[in-house]
Chains A and B, each alone.
Chain A
Amino acid sequence: MPPRQPALIEGEMLEPAPGMQPPLAVETPSGARPLVPPRPARGGGAGIVGWLRLNLFGSVGNTALTLLVLGFLALILPPFIRWAVTDATIGGTARSACTGDGACWTFIRMRLPTFFYGHYPFSEWWRVDLAAVLLGVFSAPVMRDRTRHRGLWLVLLLTLFPLLAGILLAGGLPGLPPVDTNLWGGLMLDIIIAFVTVAGSLPLGILLALGRRSQLPIVRLLAVGFIELWRGVPLLTVLFMSAVLVPLFLPNGVSVDRLIRALIALVLFNAAYMAETVRGGLQGVAAGQEEAAYSVGLRWWQVQLFVVLPQALRYVVPGLVNNIVDLFKDTTLVTIVGLFDLLGAVSQALKDPAWLGFAKEGYVFSMLVFFVCCFAMSSYGRRFEKRLRRHHSG
């Protein structure tokens, strides 16, 4: 008898015991029986029931998890909905309108203008609205998927638009009475601060990123020192510096508007973060691109401006959008140094003796406003990222 092979031999393993049928004998066309009996595909099949089975009740553990989560939701959602919707009040004009146990949205409704315009005079609101429309007009071509001359539009958005909006908002021309920045406030101030910060810190950040990759030792050292200094300290200390120290650093008698001081601090601080994002993109550009550009005789700045940066900046748009979302959220910190942004407006409204005790409504509302703005921006960033990936693979 030849030695038995240790390996598994099909026929032997599946040989049914005499007089017994294998549990699931399926005849394949060739006549050989498969090793493992076939099973239906995982997943519950088509339709809602199938989806439910696949996603919620796939196994015992999964079903238990689903029930646990449903129980948790049943615990927290109804009280929340009762507070925010069912028992809430939105009508009326005074505190006395809010008698129920739910939220008092009347408070928010009455204060809405301050939350959006700050103390900007009512007769001049149209200037803020017009500036907002202009922002939309200038940024739409930059954001759209297919745009000719996107770079040109970007430059216009960062130069012409701030000029127009600045003249509109600050005034001082015939027909446009000046409005002091002390009166600017609410969400409008958050958006202004965020826009100016982006417009200032993006170019500075690009310069810093180029400096950090420079072969000139002193340039590199200065760039690294600048970037690491701002990235190492909390934003709040930087804002305090702008509020308390900048007046000390300027010659006697020279004073700078509080808003402008905060803006300078925010630009310097965020430039360091933008620089790190841009540096990531610069590293992603293949070295051959630069070599080729030099070999056709371009100078350093031409290579960077026409060859490296256009490619690098495309890669880092999602990262830059993240930076912008972060700095937009950080604009709320200016309320600590005495500027009157949305959070400042809400906090001040909460101190009004006529409307005490609506902290929950006030902060939930401001969170929602920020959520809408930031979520829209993050979604745009994600969409852009997907598009990049598609272009890359396709």
Chain B
Amino acid sequence: MVRRPSPRAYAGQWLLLLAAAAVAWYIVSNAGDNLARRNMSFGFGFLWDVSNFDIPFRLVPWSEADTYGRALLVSFLNTIAVAACGIVAATLLGLFIGIMRLSANWLVRNIALSFVEFIRNTPQLIQIVFWYFAVLQTLPSPRQSIVLPAGMLLNIRGAYLPNAVMTPHGGLLSGLALLALAATPFLWRVRVGARRVGANALFLPVLALALFAAGVDHIDWPTLKGFNIRGGTQVPPEFVALWLGLSIYAAAFIAEIVRGSIEAISKGQSEAAQALGLKTGQRLFLIILPQALRIMVPQLTSQYLNIIKSSTLGAVVAYPEVMQIFAGTVMNQAGKEIETIIIVMAIFLAINLLTSAFMNWYNRRVALVER
């Protein structure tokens, strides 16, 4: 501590608190007056009212007879879905581009650089509306669907993915598969005597895949029937546009994080690995990346949080996420401006604080133990 603040400063801070409280009181009392004048009341009881609107994309069942509360759940799951897909795609693409940035090949290096610079220096919102209005909305009709690899179809109504139809035991088998997947990181750390089980843990994901495959009855391929696509799972263009906008934008930032972290690893590490005869790939994945990960984690966290927060931009393409459903539809219908905004802000604040807490915990675990 350089110097203790004077007693006057200690006393002065109460004035600041008083001022903050006065502003808060002013706002609350004005809001109360205004609500009373409009014959409105403050409260969250409306969450149990029947909603009477449709949510075109949902992961859990929804009908117009359901309540606003359930609409919150449905839209929240939509937010989580697009954010989770965005995080996975952004991480993979970012890692790929980041490694490209360090390639010995001039062409590869500079293509990655141009990608990063262009994406980072254009607004994410324009990228999302570009994907939606300029790309996905100009796709052909279902009859002229674009055929993608692995039986996927793409047209103006969205992307159609093949759908695995499960046998009656399918639920149990895929449950076991999930369990096996979840156990993998734990088995990775188990020691038998002095030896780690390590790589043997990789048989678990394989087992999980086999279990899942055993539960699949048949695969439902999307096919053209008449004027529309039947079968498969339809992913609406709103989701695709938002997902592209979120993951490509974040990937550019993640690529720079990856590059920076790898460059921060001392050159001696790479040279020592080379001297031991490790190949380029081994050097990257066994020596450099595990160490770079430590530097990356805090920065990646803030990128992931950005993806979650930016998912609210889905409102511009009418993707039914929390912002669009609550600060849009519900606010207009129920007229609960203050409550809906509080709910949306509280949700994101909670996600943010929880993620930060988790990442701090994880960060402490992977951090270098200094003696």
Contact = CB atoms under 8 A, between A and B. Distances in A.
Interface of A: 55-56, 58, 62, 65-66, 69-70, 73, 214-219, 222, 228-229, 231-237, 240-241, 244-245, 247-252, 287, 290-291, 294, 300, 325, 329-330, 332-333, 335-336, 343, 347, 350, 359-360, 362-364, 366-367, 370-371, 374-375, 378
Given A252-B37, A367-B130, A232 B107 contact: no
B134 A359 contact: yes
Given A216-B5, A245-B341, 16 more contacts: A55-B107, A69-B107, A73-B111, A215-B4, A237-B345, A240-B327, A287-B2, A300-B5, A329-B124, A332-B123, A332-B126, A343-B129, A359-B130, A360-B134, A366-B126, A370-B122
What are the nearest 3 A-B pairs in CB distance?
A55-B106, A374-B121, A329-B123
B2 A222 contact: no
B34 A252 contact: yes
B33 A364 contact: no
A343 B124 CA distance: 11
Contacts, number: 168
B62 interface: no
A216 B13 contact: yes
Given A244-B331, A363-B126, A69 B134 contact: no
A234 B106 CA distance: 38
B31 to A, nearest CB: 5
A237 B327 contact: yes
A370 B118 CA distance: 10
Contacts of B122: 329, 367, 370-371, 374
B121 A378 contact: yes
Given A248-B31, A363-B133, A58 B104 contact: yes
Interface stretch (B14-22, B49-57, B173-181, B363-371): B14-22
B108 interface: yes
Contacts of B121: 325, 329, 370-371, 374-375, 378
Given A343-B125, A347-B129, A371-B118, A234 B312 contact: yes
B294 interface: no
A294 B2 contact: yes
A362 B345 CA distance: 32
A363 B37 contact: no
B338 A245 contact: yes
8 contacts: A65-B103, A69-B105, A232-B349, A244-B327, A247-B34, A363-B130, A364-B130, A378-B120
Given A325-B121, A359-B134, A370-B123, A232 B352 contact: yes
B283 interface: no
Contacts of B12: 216
Given A363-B130, A367-B130, A378-B121, A237 B344 contact: yes
B137 interface: yes
B144 interface: no
A56 B105 contact: yes
A289 to B, nearest CB: 10
Contacts of A236: 312-313, 315, 323
Contacts of B37: 252
Contacts of A370: 121-123, 126
Contacts of A66: 105, 107-108
Contact of B17 (A69, A218, A245, A300): A218
A248 B338 contact: yes
B312 A375 contact: no
B106 A56 contact: yes
Interface string B327-371: 100010000011001001100110011000000000000000000
B271 interface: no
